[in-house]
Structure 1
């Protein structure tokens, strides 16, 4: 629900430079192996264009390509040829898309590379709903468990399989939001060059007028109502977060969090907060950490990605003058 500066991401990418280069080399070798199969002229041309992107001499490092570079390559290479399919003895064997995805090894990277990469960037929660972590635990054949990192391909890997491991095309997302989005077009820029977009989210939870008073009168959390506000989108074809991810539906199950904040707003009045700060001064807590401890979550938009429910909690806490 908030953007991350591209420069921050590039610094992290530089710390993984050897692993990223290893990904490129392996992908290039496997992509070249695909050419041994029989494809029509359109398919061959498409495959050669993809191979050229992964060559060391390519002017664009496609795995580290910036959002603008990704847009350029989409225009240059385009959507994978329709119904592209490798035939063997007259029978459909495997799509060219499947060949490319296997060559780029996206599935394996979900457990071997992306967890460490995104942890270093500071993303632990779904960038769309902020209600869930992005790790999915799956049972292994030996009755153990393995963790896989869920990411959404902003530009669909079904249409553009060559972007399946392009890091700026990967948006950490929970399994539910990933399934919900599918190939829908949404207008949300996770990676930006504008510093202002990394400090303040364009999305906001807002407590309904009189909700606090109604709850304090009835002590019934069903009387707690809120709205989820989105920015005005420039793209008329873009779908809203409400439409795609059902944000308000997800958070309507979390009224207990708001209930606790309302109670805290009654207990922690300004004079009591002043006394708490004085009493705990020996701990030398940073003001931000003091506020985080008070409401049980992060209090600045730039930290939204670090913990589930942080956006809801901080917005409502501000509405209640807790922070």
Structure 2
């Protein structure tokens, strides 16, 4: 999982402005109305607690959906319990969180502000959850579209009041969003707006013995694991939850073996083979030993450059590439 650094999203302030203005116009009036009507009902403790939640949200105005602090100072278990209890009250469904903050009210690709415009302005090009799949933007019928899903990090089924919050939106690939994550509770897991697997020290690894099999041209199978066992308990648990929620241990285990073979073969084996075949040319052109070594170094740099760029640009499989090279102590 990689971190979404909003300081590097050049349109972030514009996104916040557009999203908060849309919320103020389309959603906030209904929240104010619900709060005023519920103020007349004060016998039920659950209703009183819900009124306090709505009051905090109402008082924040249009800024509620663009604040980084999502839980308004509440304990997460308390909020989960409150949402459950509300279903057993006599409150009209129209005033319950899943209706007031309905994600269905946020247009998909119509109107001045919609999901695809938000995703396009974010400019996230790789799924932050798996870093395996590209996210592409394109135009259709003179409108912005993307191939990304707009995932709710905290599921709207469990946290309906966060269904429209900007910092709860994660541009993601469909595999991560629909196939694996779904509506699982992600409270105690890695939150992409704050941290990444790299930040916490989790790494992909194979087996140090496997390089000898790969470079020795043995056709043996191997698997990729995510190593986080030696991290402190709280980080270990967050990473474990993220791995399980997103199926990362499944999609990385053997899916990219061919890529890893090519990576190691290209960097460690191909240059040696190529240089051996050119030895006669080297002897003629570079009788000076220093010149020959400089040429060899330059050639090796050319071979490694695509992988270096992949890592620097955060392209798909960038972390896998970096971690596997680090595991085998290959410098690029």
In the alignment, what sits opposite 1:298? 310
What aligned pairs does 1:1-323 form with structure 2 within 5 A after superposition?
Answer: 1-5=1-5, 8=8, 12-25=11-24, 26-32=26-32, 49=52, 52-53=55-56, 55=58, 58=60, 61-67=63-69, 70=71, 72=73, 78=79, 79-82=82-85, 84=87, 96-102=96-102, 105-106=105-106, 108=108, 111-119=115-123, 123-133=124-134, 147=146, 149-179=148-178, 180-181=180-181, 182-185=183-186, 186-192=188-194, 200=199, 202-220=201-219, 222-230=220-228, 231-234=231-234, 238=238, 239-251=240-252, 252-265=254-267, 266-268=269-271, 274-276=297-299, 293-295=305-307, 298-300=310-312, 303-304=313-314, 307-320=315-328, 321-323=330-332
C-alpha separation in 1, matches of 2:294 and 2:72: 54
Q: Is the 8 A contact 2:115 2:150 kept in 1?
A: no
Query: Which of structures 1 and 2 has the larger relative contact order (alpha carbons within 8 angstroms, sep 6+)?
Result: 1
Return the alpha-carbon distance in structure 1 between the equivalents of residues 260 and 295 of structure 2: 20
**Paired residues of 1:150 and 1:174 also in contact (CA < 8 A):** yes
Superposed displacement of residue 148, structure 1: 5.7
Q: CA–CA distance in 2 between the matches of 1:7 and 1:64?
A: 15
The count of residues paired between Structure 1 and Structure 2 equals: 291
Distance 2:37 2:147 in 1: 31
1:152 counterpart SS class:
strand
Q: For the residues of structure 1 that align with 2:212 and 2:94, how far apart are their CA atoms?
A: 62
Flag the structure with higher strand content: 1
| CA separation of 1:223 and 1:118: change in aligned 2, threshold 3 A | same
Q: What RMSD over aligned residues (CA atoms) do the two structures have, in Å?
A: 4.5
Q: Which has the higher Rg, Structure 1 or Structure 2? A: 2
Q: Given the superposition, is the C-alpha separation of residues 226 and 58 from structure 1 closer, same or farther in structure 2, using an over 3 Å criterion? A: closer
- Measure, in 2, the Cα distance between the counterparts of 1:149 and 1:200: 25
What TM-score results when the alignment is normalised by the length of structure 1?
A: 0.68
Whether the 8 Å contact between 1:151 and 1:170 is mirrored in structure 2 is yes
**Cα distance change on mapping 1:4 and 1:112 into 2, 3 Å:** closer
Unaligned runs of 5+ in 1: 281-289
Distance between the aligned counterparts of 1:214 and 1:198, measured in 2?
28
Tell me, what secondary structure is at the counterpart of 1:80?
Answer: helix
Residues in 2 aligned to 1:214 and 1:76: alpha-carbon distance in whole angstroms:
50
Unaligned stretches of 5+ in structure 2? 273-292
**Which region of structure 1 is more displaced relative to structure 2, 93-102 or 126-135?**
93-102
- Give the whole-Å Cα distance in 2 for the aligned partners of 1:103 and 1:187: 23
Question: Contact 1:206–1:227 (CA<8 Å) still a contact in 2?
Answer: yes
Q: TM-score, normalised by structure 2?
A: 0.67
Q: 1:102 to 1:85 in 2, by over 3 A?
A: farther
For the structure 1 residues 175 and 85, does the alpha-carbon distance in structure 2 shift closer, same or farther, using more than 3 Å as the test? farther
